[in-house]
Structure 1
């Protein structure tokens, strides 16, 4: 099967050795994604809802670059540095996925790669054949 990748050019990709998203056949896997804006700077410092929205916009862009969309997402994983913030993060997720209704998990992690990052999200999609 053909393998395609999408990279954003972030400083982390060459250091860690990963792509933002990988497509193999009809499957698209989006790496853990955070709230980097177009300028590469973190959006929504101190605001988990704003970071979740930006993160999901970044995921939507990555999916689109590989021929998928949010409606094709079948699973997400939401990582929060403070589980008490599940509701604002969950509500933002719900707005983006109110029609797709993917399987999901919300888990608390001790920290992310930057102390200002409050949320990281992964997504898996299947493009209908």
Structure 2
């Protein structure tokens, strides 16, 4: 059976890192959007909120939301986030910023500690995946197996 073809759109932000490393800020395939790892670096190349886990996470989420809008998606379309952090002892700060943005969306999410990011002042890099038009119908309770 042949595989159905889908159009692919690479989204570029103009960052010097994209052509240097050979990647796209985001890739849209059909009704899905895959957003690359995003850090708290502004358009001038400066780190936003150096060594501030909460502020960096908030900034990263703002950038991700901008990418979503430019691709025709909404924050409510996000179905998965991945947080790569350099200091797990600050997990409450990352979580507070994530909850602030996603409390009513509640995407699947992972938080993983890494040794370091490209700049020692960076504390978080975040990826996101979205499905166009997705909306929460209800939250189903998962019953874990007994031990």
Structures share a fold, TM > 0.5? yes
Partner of 2:138 in structure 1?
none
Partner of 1:35 in structure 2?
40
Instruction: Write the mapping of 1:44-59 to structure 2, written as runs, cut at 5 A.
Output: 44-59=49-64
Matched, 1:118 2:123: yes
Q: Secondary structure at the match of 2:112?
A: strand
Partner of 2:80 in structure 1?
75
8 Å Cα contact 1:21-1:63 kept in structure 2:
no
Q: Distance in 2 between matches of 1:5 and 1:99?
A: 29
Partner of 2:15 in structure 1?
10
8 Å Cα contact 1:3-1:25 kept in structure 2:
yes
* RMSD between superposed Cα atoms in Å: 1.2
Larger Rg: 1 or 2? Answer: 2
- Structure 1 alignment gaps of length 5 or more: none
How many correspondences in the alignment? Answer: 129
Q: Deviations over 1:39-84 (max 9, x none)?
A: 3321000101110011011111111111111100000000110101
Superposed displacement of residue 24, structure 1:
0.4
Q: What TM-score do the two structures reach when normalised by structure 2?
A: 0.84
Q: What TM-score do the two structures reach when normalised by structure 1?
A: 0.95
